[in-house]
A = this chain, B = another copy of it.
């Protein structure tokens, strides 16, 4: 019998829930994004459940939204990723620590150095989620009036990756002798000066820190645009993505793995981990009811705006507690998105209000059911080559996280699709990724 394929699970933890109503759910911690003791308890529970990693998205601005929506957002204040993950590295031993860092609004020397430092502090648990920063508000915090063009951002990102990985290779793994007798601290023949002079970047090096424990921290990538997929195929070792259903996920999976193989990489050296909201109940009905209760905590004014965007038509005049009108016009705005709203309305028999609250809360991929039905769905995605695992989005915390680690994970473990113990100690080992060689020293 062939060995059972294994799921990888990372936890989406900035914000701790992407659902905009999460902080209002009964029993939740309203300050969960910004309270170190809560975050410590979350990561320790995730480590006890043997999750691969704790994942911090990031924004370099207060997001631009209407003040009525902004004032209701639980994400406005949060810790900066490197300071938080470094603090959490001290209270954990095995779980990976993934930080988002921008190639558009930061410098490769800083990025290389901070990830190397986090990797050393955590004994090989760091991952870099490469983003080019899509939010135009960020540009204004970094001296620009306009956002950097998409194609220019990706061109810089590709070169930035070469520079950062080159800086990580500044020293051979065995460069540091620390010989008290002779007084030689390191072998200068094992130090490489990068002296990069490219189209976008000029960086001399060497980096002022020893080579990371993992050689290079794990490379994560999230873009789904054409240049984003190509960057992922060429460089990413884990991909965070948001396909809307199984078919879309299979296509994305095949596309990105294909791009990796086309540039000579191993198919298994890239893990595809779609984001999925997971809501667990005693029955499917109870889980759905929990989700509807959560959706009800979204403010209607901002919710109806989100539904209007998804439909491509102004929904503010629709009767809130009736079904969607049957004659909604097709527009150029977003055909795929409109169709998925109509499908959802029919499948779950939702009113305009319920649909609006869904789109204003979290409208991405969701697994809502019992531990067994969710484990079934996850296994299908794994078997069908739609995913190598998931980036789990919690609906509310702590309860939604507790449900996953106490109820879903044991079922996955019993079925033999998720580890009962960590086999290695680095994040690369958890993900089954090789340690990269040093390009300057063999």
Contact = CB atoms under 8 A, between A and B. Distances in A.
Given A76-B186, A90-B87, A62 B120 contact: no
A180 B105 CA distance: 35
Contact of A105 (B82, B86, B107, B185): B107
A82 B79 contact: no
Given A24-B180, A31-B178, A114-B80, A61 B185 contact: no
A202 B143 contact: yes
A77 B208 contact: yes
A35 to B, nearest CB: 10
A34 B120 contact: yes
Contacts of A113: 80
A74 interface: yes
Contacts of A82: 82-83, 86, 114
A141 B71 contact: no
30 contacts: A23-B180, A24-B180, A30-B178, A61-B208, A62-B206, A62-B208, A70-B188, A71-B185, A72-B184, A73-B185, A74-B185, A76-B208, A77-B186, A77-B208, A78-B208, A79-B120, A82-B83, A82-B86, A87-B89, A87-B121, A90-B90, A90-B91, A106-B107, A107-B142, A109-B142, A137-B204, A140-B202, A140-B204, A143-B201, A143-B203
Given A87-B86, A180-B24, A183-B72, A209 B77 contact: yes
A208 B62 CA distance: 5
A221 interface: no
Interface in A200-228: 201-210
A422 interface: no
A118 interface: yes
Contacts of A80: 113-114, 116-117, 209
A297 B183 contact: yes
Contact of A87 (B76, B87, B209): B87
User: How many monomers of this protein are in the complex?
Assistant: 2
A248 interface: no
A110 interface: yes
Interface of A: 23-24, 28, 30-31, 34, 36, 59-62, 67, 70-74, 76-80, 82-84, 86-87, 89-91, 105-107, 109-110, 113-114, 116-118, 120-121, 137, 140-144, 171, 176, 178, 180, 183-188, 191, 201-210, 297, 299
A79 B186 contact: no
A316 B120 CA distance: 41
A41 to B, nearest CB: 14
A24 B181 CA distance: 7
A188 B62 CA distance: 12
Contacts of A28: 180
A36 B93 CA distance: 14
B79 A208 contact: no
